[in-house]
Structure 1
Amino acid sequence: MGNGVIKMLQDTLMETLQEQLGKVESQEEADKIIKKFENLDMNKIVLEMFDTMADNTTRHMRDTMYEKVTIFRAEEQEFLAKQDRKWYRAFVASESMYIMTLEAAEAYGEEISQLSEEELEELEKKANTFTAMLHIHGRAMQQFLEIITLMKNGFADGAYARWRSMYELAIISSFITENGEKVAKAFIESSETDDRYEWARLSNKFPTSKKYISFNDIQKNCNLNSKSWRHPYDLANKAVHASPQGTFKRMSNIIGGEDAIPVGRSDYGITTPGEHSAISLAQITGMFFSTYSTESSTLAIKYISNWIDVIREEYFKTHDYVFPDDKKLWDDSMVSYENMENDKSEE
């Protein structure tokens, strides 16, 4: 127990003692009072005092928790309303991408189910790859929606942490689709084990002397351009782990040039996870739909990829409007779906 607390209690007891002694009428009575004070266990008294204070505080918090949480939720709803007003167009663009991708995936699945026997025999040659990509794509869709939800709630760092997982799924998708059925089958079967990346050994891209295969090994041996994503992925890793960079350089730390310590929701840092998650979803969707190409899936790959431009424009323009003192992210020379349409009409 702290010496300061004990001294404070001792001083208080001495004042009480002097006050009691001032009221006694005999030395015998005074001696009894002094003896009682001398026998006091200060540490025990302090512990009992803290226990009583903690119990009283707990009781008070329990009695007032509904009132406090009601106020907290009202403030939360106020933030959410402001967040939606500011980022409405950007969030709509992300949600539209989720809807269009989900509808395209459902249509793709329906189209696959109606293939002829001859076409099904062709698909059967890629059955494991199709199954692996079907599940990976489903997981990516869920994570994309989680990212939208986190951004709406003002958690840019959490959204970027979820993008990290989407990026890793894109790398795994690339590796599986490039290395064929044996690798895809091993990936599926590994779901029943504790193995994380050993399934990739069946690609024969790693020396037998290599004891363990890591995600980084897979990343270096796939066609997805991981070099251009090295810096963003490194930032996302720092955001996930208990690193000093992830602590002091969070996406919502620097607002208007001032260093802040966010402990809750923030409207800052939304742009990066919004853009990156759209790119990763388009990549994974493209690889999934290419497992067995149809006219509809080829078309879907194109318009879903086009939507990245819509996402980028809406998020960049919104950021520039909401944070006018920041460096501008958007300029009219950037490629956008709208500009592409104008170019076509001019032709």
Structure 2
Amino acid sequence: MSSRKPVFLITGADLAPQALALLGDYEVVYAGKTPTEADIVALCKQHDPVAIIVRYSKVGAAAMDAAPSLKVISKHGSGTDTIDKAAAAQRGIQVKAAVGANAAAVAEQALALLLACAKSVVQLNERMHAGHWDKATHKSVELAGRTVGLIGLGAIGLRFARMADAMGLRVLGFDPYAKDLPDYVHSVDLETIWRESDALSLHCPLTSDNAKLINVNTLAQCKRGVIVINTARGGLIDEDALLQAVRDGQVHSAGLDSFAVEPMTAPHPFHGEPRILLSPHIGGVTSDAYVNMGVGAAKNALAVLAN
């Protein structure tokens, strides 16, 4: 009988030490910083992992078929759209997410982007460094008393809602699955979100039903000068429609941490657009969240393997 330890495949280059400490009974194999789907399939064929912790790239049916011992695919975070869940279900492979592990980090990033948009933080900084003093001509947006519409009221959305309420914003929310909402979140339909929001913030998973939820038609229903924030998934937004709406003034500004294609390729239509603020999908990337997501992903996988 072979004494070789069963394998955990990590679709990334590292895992928090606190998570690794939980995996002492397993061999841990890393796919590297930017693994392709083909890389993951090849590693599955080579190592036949019992568990995959997904950080980067996609895990589809080919990878699952290449790993007959695979029992669980555990997301290093909360969004499982990079995992073919239907294929996993057909093969009896469980899919788990570290729900809430990065909620504080992502909610803070959403708030940072909202404030940066409303207060023109980036533009004013650049003007100051260039020697300008725009006090006489600049007017920022005051958020207190305005309305923010949240799409998705999971751990991240609710955390953001609490911060927005503390700032004096009226909070509208749409989430058909949310229950027992705090009294400061007003549950409404999407039409009300579009019609009444001064700012929109996306906090929902990407599904086939909501792809390009923000599009020409929905943006046209919004107030002129709405602010759009996305720290969820890039596929929720029709990027061409958003860019045109920003240029037309229908959208005041946008703060984006996720994109339809990642990494973003250069040149990109958003590049050089001063009212679109960009960050490289790092909302959940803090030292604390890195540990929380790694530990959560490891514990979720181990719980499945223990059964």
TM-score after normalising by structure 1: 0.21
